[in-house]
Amino acid sequence: ELGQNEMLYQAYKAIAEGAEYQKLDTAQKKVIDNAVRDFRLSGVELDQQQRDEFKKLSQQMTERTAKFEENLLDATHAWRKLITDESLLSGLPPSTIEMAEQMAKREGEEGWLFTLDFPSYMPVMSYADNRELREEMYTAFATKASDQGPNAGKWDNTEVMLDILNLRH
């Protein structure tokens, strides 16, 4: 609502178009210019019908973006790899191995538990000697929240992305 406040927009615009603007330093001018730009991008210059439509589309975009993020987070948290063969950990830093062991214990498992969260994922991708492990984790990471990979379709963001693209046009 603040972005469509006409009185506030007019105040910023008056500063930007006034003689005092030239006396402002570069940083102050940037603040004024950005505020005027942001008001315009928020639809302040639209007529009421267009503003209502803009608000409706913005709300839909917010909802779809939240759904996208929710699916991505759910897909990330759902994937787990429990390793019981210590030889598969070759090349991994001791801190990563220890973290994976602690995660497994927290889940009541024996061995080492890896996830797609970055503190777990990145060391495997960077240091693991086992190519199959790296490939399995990469595939799970690259296909999460999609119609492919280990959880194919479960948190698929394809339709959500199409909705977002359509709302942007």
> Tell me: the pLDDT tens digits for 58-76?
999 999 999 999 999 999 9
Percent of the chain with pLDDT over 90: 93
CA atoms in the 13 A half-sphere facing the CB of 61: 11
Q: What's the pLDDT at 2? A: 77
Q: What's the pLDDT at 90? A: 98
Mean pLDDT of the chain: 96
Label residue 30 by pLDDT band (50, 70, 90).
very high
